[in-house]
Each structure stands twice: as C-alpha cells, then as structure tokens.
Amino acid sequence: MDRFTGVPHTVMKSEAYRSLSSTARSLLFELAMIENGKNNGSLYLSVRDAADRLGMSDPNSVTNAFDELTDRGLICCTKAAHFEVKAADHSRARCWKLTWKAANRRPPSDEWRAYCAPPDSGAAKRARRGMAALKRYGYALSAHRLPVLETITE
C-alpha cells in the first residue's frame, strides 16, 4: 500500500495555514512527507535540501518559508544544525516537528491554533482571502450551487 501525506482540514482551514506563502505551504508538505507516523520530532531537513526538493535556487526564500512555518506554530525546531560536526559523524541538518501531530510520546502541541496575523500585514491579507474563499465554497456547497467551469475543448 502506498503511503500518503495528510494535513488535517482543521489545520488547513486555520489562519496560520491560510496566511502562509505558497513556498511555505509547499515546504510544509515536504516536511509532512518525511514524517512516517513514528519519527515526528526527528524530521531532518536542511535549507539546502529543502530548496532542492522545492526546485528553488534561492536559499533565502526557503529560510523565510521555515521562519513562516515556525512563526505560525505549524512546525518547531527540535534540534539545531551542527556545522562543526563532520557529516559522517552526525547529521548537520535541523530537526523539525509537525505541531499538529504527537511526538516522543507527547500529545500535539498545536501552537498553530493561537496564531493571529498582524493586522494589515501581507499574511493577514492572504489569510482573509483564503478564509473568504473557503466560506464562499461552504455556502455554495450547502446551497447545491457549486460553480461549474465550462470545459469545452475543440
């Protein structure tokens, strides 16, 4: 059976998730893909490897995405990077935890639930647009009036 990566709807409908940039959302799914049900809290991913996984050449964009995810409480760093240790001896990458999942026999910390975007920030605008779109979809679904796009091909 093939594995899958899941993010609960409660997380995806939250202000924390809706305020993320597209790079941060993609990075979140890369981290979720590393998690196997037993290793949350030990998700090793460096900025360089994350950039490669995302097909990006700018490490600053990836660093910003990690910062966004941490700021919103969707992930937390459980072990800092170690650059003074040789790669053969110990991993140099940072170690991460998805906060909506249990880790190390502890329940989820769910820091993302407390996130509020600063008013008038780009994050707040993204969150408002995303939440409004979800609301419109919910209304249309309950009224049995989902939009249908014309898909005529010639």
Confidence band for 150, pLDDT divided at 50, 70 and 90: low
pLDDT, tens digit, 9 for 90 and up, residues 118-137: 999 999 999 999 999 999 98
Q: Kindly state the helix (H) or strand (E) to which residue 66 belongs, with its residue range.
A: helix 59-71
The upper half-sphere exposure of residue 127, i.e. CA atoms within 13 Å in the direction of its Cβ, equals 19
pLDDT, tens digit, 9 for 90 and up, residues 5-19: 889 999 999 999 999
Using the predicted structure, report yes or no on whether residue 45 has a pLDDT greater than 60. Answer: yes
Using the predicted structure, report yes or no on whether residue 25 has a pLDDT greater than 60. Answer: yes
Write down how long the chain is: 154
**Mean of per-residue pLDDT scores for the chain:** 90
| DSSP letter assigned to residue 2 | -
Q: Which sequence spans correspond to the domains of the chain?
A: 9-102+111-142
CATH number of 9-102+111-142: 1.10.10
